[in-house]
Each structure stands twice: as C-alpha cells, then as structure tokens.
Amino acid sequence: MEEKLKTIRPSNPLLQHFKTNFESIPFDKIKPKDFIPAIIKGISQALDNINLICTNADKPTFENTNLALESCGSILGRNTSILFNLNSAETNDEIQLITSQAAPLLTKFQNDINLNEVLFDRIRYVYENTDETNLNTEQKTLLEKQYKGFVRNGALLDKKEKKKLRIIDAKLAKLSLSFGQNVLAETQAYELHIRDKKKLRGLPESLIEMAKSIAEKKRKKGWIITLDYPMYIPFTKYSEERELRKEITLAFGKRGYQKNKNNNTEIIKQITLLRKERAKLLGYDSHADFILEERMASSVLEVKKFLDGLANKAFPAAEKEWDTINTFAKNKLNLKKLEKWDIAFVSEKIKKVKLDFDEQELKPFFSIDNVLKGLFEIVEKLYDLKFKENYDIQRYNKEIRVFEVYKKGLFYALLYADFFPRPGKRDGAWMTSFRSQKKNQRPHVSIVCNFSRPTKTKPSLLTFQEVTTLFHEFGHALHGILANTNYSSLSGTNVYWDFVELPSQIMENWCYEKEALLIYAKHYKTGKVLPQKFIEKIKKIKNFQQGLNTLRQLSLGYLDMSYHTKNSDKIKSVKKHEKSLIEKFQFTKDIDENCLSTSFSHIFQGGYAAGYYSYKWAEVLEAHAFELFMENGIFDKKTSAKFHDNILSKGGTEHPMILYKKFRGKVPNSSALLKRAGLI
C-alpha cells in the first residue's frame, strides 16, 4: 500500500498549476494516491530552490535570500492545504493513512529548512547588516519574522541538539494526528437509538425529523441521535427524558477516555512532555513561555493576571446564576440534585420563563439561505463586497457551495461554504484556506460548520447560536478574503494567535443589532421580518448566564495553560490533573468516567496550545472595538473603512497592538466587555 501511494501518476494534477477557472481545485481529478508523490516531488523542488539560495555566490541581500525563501514551495503548500483540509472535512481511512504518512515528511522538510546552517547564516547576515531605512514596514516584518522563526526553531542549536529536535517534532506531528483521529472515531462510533416515540418528549420537531432521517439512512426503525453538535446540543437542552440526557452526556464526555484503542490519555502525556522538552531544548522554561514570546500577552504571568481578573468578576455573577438554576430546578422541575446532564435543560426552561424566550420560535426566521443572503448584504454595506454563487467549480462534496467574491467589480476571492455534519467530518466550526493571498494572487477561503440539516419538510433552520457561529466564522473568512499584502506568510490570519479572533468575534455583534436583524431574520415561509418583541429578547439573551459562561471559558484557558507551563511534566494522571484544576469552576460534581481533556482538540490537535485564553483576550479587543461602531453607527462607512484598512487587510504586517491603535486610537481595556456582559 505504502509503495503504491508513492507512485507518480503521469496525469497527477497536483504536480501542475491548476488550469481551471480562478485556478480552483479540480477535486474530481485528484485521487487520494496522488498526494504522497506530489508532496515528495514538491519537497524535492523546494529544497532545490533553497539550495540555489545557499549556493548563491553573491552577498546575501533581502531580495536574493529572504524574498527567495518566501517564494519557495508554493505548490507544496497548496497541496498540503488540500490534504489537511480534506482530512478535517471529508476524511476516510485512506485519507487518514495518507495524512499520517505526509505529516513526518513535512515535519522533516520544515526541519531541513529551519536547521540548514548555510541558509540561516545568510538570513542572519541580512538581519544584522541590512539598513532598515531601505525597507518598508512589511519588508521589515518579514525579515524579523524569518530570523526569529529560524532561531525559535533550533537554528542556534548544535548538531546533537538539532537531531534531538527533529525526533521530537516528528513524534509531535504523529501524536497530534492520532489525537484528532481518535476523537473523530469516538464521535462517530456512538448513536442513541430511540425506538419508543414516548422517549422523544420535549424534543423540537426539526430534531425528531433529523433523527428519523438518520435512522432511515442506517435502515433502522425509530430515531437516531448522534454526538454531532446540531443533534447533541438541542437534545441536552430539550429532552424531558433525564436518563437519555445522562446517557448522551456521558457518551460525549467519554470521547478519548474509554478503555479502547482510541484512548487519548497517554497521547496527552506524551504531547505535554515532548512540548516541554522541546521548549527546554530551545532555551525556554516551558512551552507556554515559547509560545507567548510571539503573542500580545507576552508572558505566563500576564495571561494568569488576565484570567484571574476576569474570574474575579465572573464568580459572583456565576454563583447567583447557579442559585437561580438550583432553586428553579427544585421548585419547578422537582430536581433535587442537579447533575451535569441537567444544566442545559434547566437553563433552557429558565430562559423560557424568565425571558419569555424559546429559541425554537426563532428558528423559522433563520433559514440558512436567508441568513447567508443577509450576511452577504451586511458585508456589502460594510466592505463593498459582492458574492456570486458558482455552480460549476469543483468541490470535495456535492453539499459544498462556492461563491465568487468581488470588490468594486474586481475578482477578490473564492469562498467555499461547507455547512452540514456528515461521516468523515470532525465536529465544531472553523475557517481555513486552500490558497493564500499574496501580491498578484487572490485567496481561496473556506468556512466549515456543522449546522442543523434540512429535512424532508423544512430547509435548514438555524438556532440563534448557529447564526452567531456562522457570523463568527465569516469574520475569519473576511480576514482572509480582504487580505491585501505582498507576502503569504504575513497575509490574512497569519497574525498573533491572540489577535486572530478579533475579526471573527467582532462580526458576531451584527447578530444582535436591529438594523442587521431586519436584513436577514425573515420567516422562511412568509418572508416576514422578525417581530420587534423577538429582537428585544435577542438583546437580552446576550447576557443570559454570562457569569457561568465566562467561568466555563476561563476554566478551559486555565486547563490549557496548566498543560504547557513549567510543571507540566509532573502530570501523572490526566484525569486527576484536570479535576484538581477545573473543579472549582464547576457547580456539579465531577463524573469519574468523563474527561474533558481527551477531546480537547483545540490544544492537542489544533493551534491553540498555550493560547486558549485568546478567545477571551480577543473578546476584550472586539468589545472595545465595537464601541466605535456603536458610537458612529453599525454600518458607518468611515468606521468600517478604518477597520478594513488597519485590521482586515493588513494581516500580520505589523505588530497587532500598533494596528489596533491605528484603528481605535487607543489601547483596549476590559471595561467594555465587562459592562456588556453585565459583570460590572
């Protein structure tokens, strides 16, 4: 099998520039077996180009060294993006095997670059001898980023240490992939099969219809609920069957923590130890110290101070909210002792009684087509973008929708939109890209979500939470679409990790404002806009249980940091470690058979290691930033132009605080977030 995967097919499309409209990916022509030969060939070509840089007899300059390095491996980068995106959104056993083969090849390739002494000597010469007055801001940033990148990835190590670094990086690449594959396998292995109609009590009709459809596809009688978010979340919110809520909640919490081949506890310990070892090798006390050197929050102490400050404000509010939940559960629902599987259910009941708010009443106003059309209109008002659906461009699954994006009549990007859960697709929502932006090249951007599917009788009707998720991911997409830099490595979302969530989280604000809601919140049958009474309720739910929600986010931030600070190598039991850390943030008793860490893909598979705090950090930035929109109007052209010119189009061309101050005129503070959340 492995030899077969390395055989180059003469017509392998991955070895060529795509001769398609907008150079889009010809998914129909690409075979899984094409990837490894194309990656091996791409690595070889890139290393040949690097050898040309190293053997250049001329004195090292920014042009013949830094720019030459920046342009190396563009087709390789394109092909690996395609492979890893498919592994997240459209995987199978063959793709997973290929990805696991590609990962060590790519890790070795990166190390071959980062640990190339001749190349680093040229980079260092330019860094130390270039008159920076001859470079513009973007060139200076690229020069510094490349030099620091080499140093931070082992260029100053001796030969023995470099060999050790290579071994560590190869192990980490493999472990990270295994972690994600295990979570996906666990998610897909479970189903709650309901055969008795009485057990559907309380469930929304749309969920019942989806469950029926899944059962029919599996040729089973009754209804099937899966662990995919669009089914799991509403089931825990609405099911009147406490035992079934318990069963599915425990199944969700067991992922990666069962006594089977998908158990992730040893993988977590290995990843944690290897990250610590890598950091020490590079001269840092911990992985967090290594990571935070390139963040707005520049130290572990600063992150801890930030989290502690928010926790102190959130705890009093959370305790009051918990008392309300407890009292309501006892008095209205006869629940004497609340468990983990009761919280979403009771909270939804309180929301209905206290705020007279039932999310199911809103869903008819949030068909995915209406929301998407309205979102496009909002973005056109803000940034002069127009979207045109293209039905001919190839896609990796027939459900994917593709849009051409134009700005002032000029082609600006391709947008792929992948909305619904299916086998082979990991849960959650994310933005990614198939092609980056650089000078003379526009990007191909993708948003991937797991929303409520259409049924036989209804289109896809989104919950309000799904609406905010769509706006969030679209904010990330705008960061990619509107990028306008010279270099790919500084373009779009290639920014400090605690800055990358600003464009996404600020976009969520348009979900709550009346002017925006009237554009997209229209009944899927009648076309009538959302009634005023619902608009007022939507504003109120923004602060519903903000204390508890904030504590939940902070607990994940603390947990993440605990795996990556200087005592991380002392962790003997993942479960005991997790329990000791987050128990104080929870109001229900811990469940022995559940472990959050073993499916915490953000930090063990994604890029949020020592960075989960950034969600809250960026929330501070966006609350402070959105105040300017509120002062001038949410569709004010001058304000949106400033946000475009200083944030969205600039990528990582300057330090994020410089860019932020250019937009806002001052440094951010947390008071706007705390006021909005009702915590002060």
| The model scores a pTM over 0.75 | yes
Handedness of CA 607, 447, 613, 588 (dihedral sign): negative
Nearest one of 157, 219, 184, 197 to 89, comparing CA atoms: 184
Fold classified for 363-542? Neurolysin; domain 3 (1.10.1370)
SS3 49: helix
Ordered by start, the domain boundaries in the chain are 2-156, 190-253, 363-542
User: What does the pLDDT read at residue 400?
Assistant: 98
Alpha-carbon span 437 to 650, nearest angstrom: 11
Separation of alpha carbons 264 and 556, rounded Å = 18
DSSP 64: I
Cβ–Cβ under 8 Å, residues 433 and 443: yes
Of 312-321, 342-351, 469-478, 538-547, the poorest mean pLDDT is in 538-547
Quick one: tokens of 62?
């920014």
CB 244 within 8 A of CB 134: no
DSSP string, 590-658: --TT--SGGG-HHHHTSS-TTTTTHHHHHHHHHHHHHHHHHHH-TT-HHHHHHHIIIIITTTTSS-HHH
Dihedral pair phi/psi, residue 578, rounded to 5°: -60, -45
Give me 179's structure tokens. 């972690």
Q: At what angle do helices 300-333 and 343-354 cross, to 10 degrees?
A: 70
318, 550 contact by CB (below 8 A): yes
Candidates 389, 393, 386; CA nearest to 403 is 389
Q: What is the mean pLDDT of residues 483-492?
A: 97
The strand pair at 444-448 and 192-194 is best described as unpaired
CB neighbourhood size of 248 (10 A): 22
- Are domains 2-156 and 363-542 of this chain identical in fold? yes
What pLDDT digit, counting tens, does each position of 440-463 carry? 999 999 999 999 999 889 999 999
| Number of residues assigned to the chain | 680
Give, as one character, the DSSP assignment of residue 104.
Answer: H
User: What's the pLDDT score for residue 382?
Assistant: 98
List residues with catalytic annotation: 473
Three-state SS at 152: helix
CA nearest neighbour of 181 among 269, 95, 83: 95
Average pLDDT over residues 201-220: 94
Q: Tell the residue number behind the tokens 């690595």, with chain if given.
A: 43
Tokens of 363: 């869903």
* C-alpha 309: how far from chain center: 25
CA distance 20 to 27: 11
CATH number for 2-156: choose from 1.10.1370.40, 3.30.1540.10, 3.40.50.300, 1.10.8.60: 1.10.1370.40
Name the pLDDT band for 673 (thresholds 50, 70, 90): confident
pLDDT class for 7, splitting at 50, 70, 90? low
Which SS3 state, helix, strand or coil, does residue 445 take?
strand
Residue 432's nearest CA partner among 421, 418, 417, 447 is: 447
Residue whose C-alpha is closest to residue 630's, from 546, 506, 538: 506
Q: Which residue has the tokens 């989960």?
A: 612
User: pLDDT tens across 552-609, in order?
Assistant: 999 999 999 999 998 888 999 999 999 999 999 999 999 999 999 999 999 999 889 9
Residue, of 355 and 626, whose pLDDT is higher: 626
pLDDT in tens, 635-652: 999 999 999 999 999 999
User: What is the pLDDT of the chain when averaged over all its residues?
Assistant: 95
Whole-angstrom distance, CA of residue 680 vs CA of residue 661: 25
Helix (H, G, I), strand (E, B) or coil at 454: coil
Asked if 519 and 377 count as a contact pair (C-beta separation under 8 A), the reply is yes
